[in-house]
Chain A
């Protein structure tokens, strides 16, 4: 079910899920509306796994941690429009934090993920949400998503899935950044620590969409993106997107400060010839 249509060789290509298959054929050839979505959240909460489930309908046990950020696309159909979701899946590690604004800048939607079995991850999610509300596009649609629902004993799906202990091995190798005093011991993180009501009432007060999901079973994953799509002001986005895209293109110019920052200045301290900005990038 998953591998045949996983568009590994053609990222950004026409990866269309079963749900949206018909969009390309039947309806009028309306140009897809491009939506930038960013995923944020603590390390090892399952951001990449949610995206992989949504885009390729697959799940990898022991997924390697994301490095930097990964970019994937998926088309979805909503009523008469086709949306092309440009999804930025960011790394949760602390050292990438300073890069985050690059990904949520101009984003129309954000999925902030926590792990329902790790209390600290909701705090991290809340601080991401604060940052988004302060610094991101004021119209941004934010969804708070509690992942690893398959590990919750109160979830109906818990009965059908086995071996929860292999679910998040990645968590064992990743320290929760920033809160060394509050060690998440590894024996924790195996059962629910965050009640649905707690997160839900927070989400309501902060004006967020709220869902619980499991990348492993697929529960709630498509719903997350559908709910976001429904909440977007598509008319407004369609109107402004052309201008925004042009602006994005312009920001692709190499600027001289960055070049010198990266070592293209002619200091030659290690004795090797360095390219100078005049003849390397232009």
Chain B
């Protein structure tokens, strides 16, 4: 098969952000730039029609898509669905869900489960735009339908998700990234959300750079983190930067058959307010609710301080009171929340990707390890020294100076844990308001 040859001959290459723009212009999958991408995500219909590709234009990829469709349906006909293939350095992982076929190709030695998880999230992203009900119906009526007609305008959001999955640990952690801020301020803001709540507002949340400030929810229900990841990814799109927005969004884990309606407005340059309603005619209620919230937060300096906290970005490793730490993630199991530091400045983008990739793999081994999961994993190469550690209360992933010995590293991690314990109230959303 032609595609096999293509992939086999491709060289190992990790791209930098500067390259992306140039590479995006190259539409043809025969071009070296297309082949050199380290991660490809493709979506096609079960009839072999192209739906999405991270790189290149789907139309130009139609031969490749047909080939993929042929592979998948050949195995499906033998009732032994193809799950993955190894081609040279490349892993190809397949995921089929109803009328959609998804394929990930990676040269990073990613375990199948990782890529399959990412394909599932990509699938959820498409469902969140259209609902499963609509997807099923469309393809029942017209098996040959070109789904791009209906996904038009969302390419940016899907691309952003795919890119973030490659460089951000959040999606694999399956918990919510939280903004580090003063407990009192967070509490004050949470109360403002509750006080401003109007009939019909099911959820209200504030978000800065995909990090949660606080979230108001019904007492007996909470949204699944995966649904919130998709929502936060959407909210990060530049399209929302001006004005108030109102759009249907499907939350696949909540109900993949129907839409909820999302109000979105940046109340400061960095902070988005999101209100979720079940009633598509309730925009007016939402906008009045927003007015009450911003008025309330403007009576003192809360709004200013919120913007201040939001514009600080993530913590730097040294702010955790240790030296030699290059990056850290800490996941609070009970709260299903986590925070991550920035990378130490000396770490370049390739190394960042490699470290995130290591985290993902270590987490997979720790959490899918059977009846007696691993507690501590120590990963050391010539360039990276990484520790993954889980207890019943937390998961921790830390990268330290490569030369650091184990003893020093353990001491460092203990110091960090002490710091986190002291800062816990400010790191996490402890008392999320409910009604």
Chain A interface (Cβ < 8 Å from any Cβ of B): 6, 8-12, 43, 51-52, 55-56, 63-72, 89, 91-95, 99, 102, 173-175, 177-178, 180, 248-249, 251-255, 258-259, 261-264, 270, 272-275, 279-282
Select from chain B the residue with minimum beta-carbon distance to A183: B59
| B184 in the interface (beta carbon within 8 A) | no
Q: Do B149 and A175 touch across chains, with their CB atoms under 8 A apart?
A: yes
Chain B interface (Cβ < 8 Å from any Cβ of A): 129-130, 146, 148-150, 152-157, 199-200, 202, 218-221, 224, 234, 237-248, 253-255, 257-260, 262, 265-269, 277-285, 287, 291, 294
- The residue from B202, B281, B287, B294 contacting A281, defined by CB atoms under 8 A apart: B202
- The residue from A67, A92, A272 contacting B247, defined by CB atoms under 8 A apart: A67
Q: Do B152 and A174 touch across chains, with their CB atoms under 8 A apart?
A: yes
Q: Do B218 and A275 touch across chains, with their CB atoms under 8 A apart?
A: yes
- The residue from B253, B258, B267 contacting A272, defined by CB atoms under 8 A apart: B253
- The residue from B245, B254, B285 contacting A263, defined by CB atoms under 8 A apart: B254
Select from chain A the residue with minimum beta-carbon distance to B268: A9
Q: Do A43 and B245 touch across chains, with their CB atoms under 8 A apart?
A: no
Chain A residues with CB under 8 A of B200: 252-254, 281
Whether A94 contacts B280 in the complex (CB less than 8 A), given A71-B245, A262-B259, comes out as: no
Chain A residues with CB under 8 A of B199: 253-254, 281-282
Q: Which 9 A-B pairs have the closest CB atoms?
A: A68-B247, A263-B255, A65-B153, A64-B239, A275-B221, A262-B278, A252-B285, A72-B243, A71-B244
- The residue from B148, B238, B246, B255 contacting A68, defined by CB atoms under 8 A apart: B246
Select from chain A the residue with minimum beta-carbon distance to B146: A180
- The residue from B152, B224, B248, B278 contacting A254, defined by CB atoms under 8 A apart: B278
Chain A residues with CB under 8 A of B148: 175
User: What are 30 pairs between A and B in contact, CB < 8 Å?
Assistant: A43-B153, A65-B156, A68-B246, A70-B243, A70-B246, A91-B153, A93-B152, A94-B149, A94-B152, A95-B152, A99-B248, A102-B280, A102-B281, A175-B146, A251-B284, A253-B200, A254-B277, A254-B279, A255-B279, A258-B278, A258-B280, A259-B278, A262-B258, A272-B253, A275-B221, A280-B218, A280-B221, A281-B200, A281-B202, A282-B199
Q: Do A64 and B149 touch across chains, with their CB atoms under 8 A apart?
A: no
Chain A residues with CB under 8 A of B258: 261-263
Q: Do B241 and A71 touch across chains, with their CB atoms under 8 A apart?
A: no
Give Cα A259 to B152, complex, Å: 28
Give Cα A68 to B277, complex, Å: 14
Chain B residues with CB under 8 A of A92: 153
Q: Do A69 and B246 touch across chains, with their CB atoms under 8 A apart?
A: yes
- Which among B239, B243, B253, B281 has the highest number of chain A CB atoms within 10 Å? B243
Chain A residues with CB under 8 A of B269: 8-9
Give Cα A93 to B154, complex, Å: 10
- The residue from A11, A91, A274 contacting B265, defined by CB atoms under 8 A apart: A11
- How far, in Å, is A186 (CB) from chain B's closest CB? 10
Chain B residues with CB under 8 A of A89: 243
Give Cα A272 to B223, complex, Å: 9
- How far, in Å, is A182 (CB) from chain B's closest CB? 13
Select from chain A the residue with minimum beta-carbon distance to B219: A279
Known: A251-B281, A263-B254. 20 other contacts (CB 8 A): A8-B241, A9-B268, A12-B244, A12-B287, A56-B242, A64-B156, A65-B156, A71-B243, A71-B246, A93-B152, A95-B130, A95-B150, A99-B248, A102-B281, A177-B149, A254-B200, A263-B257, A272-B253, A275-B202, A275-B221
Select from chain B the residue with minimum beta-carbon distance to A92: B153
- The residue from B218, B266, B268, B278 contacting A279, defined by CB atoms under 8 A apart: B218
- How far, in Å, is A166 (CB) from chain B's closest CB? 13
Give Cα A64 to B238, complex, Å: 7
Chain A residues with CB under 8 A of B245: 67-71
Chain B residues with CB under 8 A of A55: 243
Give Cα A275 to B222, complex, Å: 9
Give Cα A6 to B129, complex, Å: 30
Give Cα A252 to B6, complex, Å: 57
- How far, in Å, is A47 (CB) from chain B's closest CB? 12
Q: Do A175 and B152 touch across chains, with their CB atoms under 8 A apart?
A: yes
- The residue from B220, B265, B287, B291 contacting A275, defined by CB atoms under 8 A apart: B220
Chain B residues with CB under 8 A of A11: 242-244, 265
- Which among A56, A64, A270 has the highest number of chain B CB atoms within 10 Å? A64
- How far, in Å, is B128 (CB) from chain A's closest CB? 11
Q: Do A99 and B280 touch across chains, with their CB atoms under 8 A apart?
A: yes
Q: Do B152 and A177 touch across chains, with their CB atoms under 8 A apart?
A: yes
- Which among A10, A177, A280 has the highest number of chain B CB atoms within 10 Å? A280
Give Cα A10 to B294, complex, Å: 9
Whether A67 contacts B255 in the complex (CB less than 8 A), given A8-B269, A12-B287, A280-B218, comes out as: no
Chain B residues with CB under 8 A of A6: 242
- How far, in Å, is A45 (CB) from chain B's closest CB? 13
Select from chain B the residue with minimum beta-carbon distance to A251: B281
Whether A262 contacts B255 in the complex (CB less than 8 A), given A71-B243, A175-B148, comes out as: yes
Chain A residues with CB under 8 A of B240: 67
Chain B residues with CB under 8 A of A274: 221, 254
Give Cα A272 to B224, complex, Å: 9
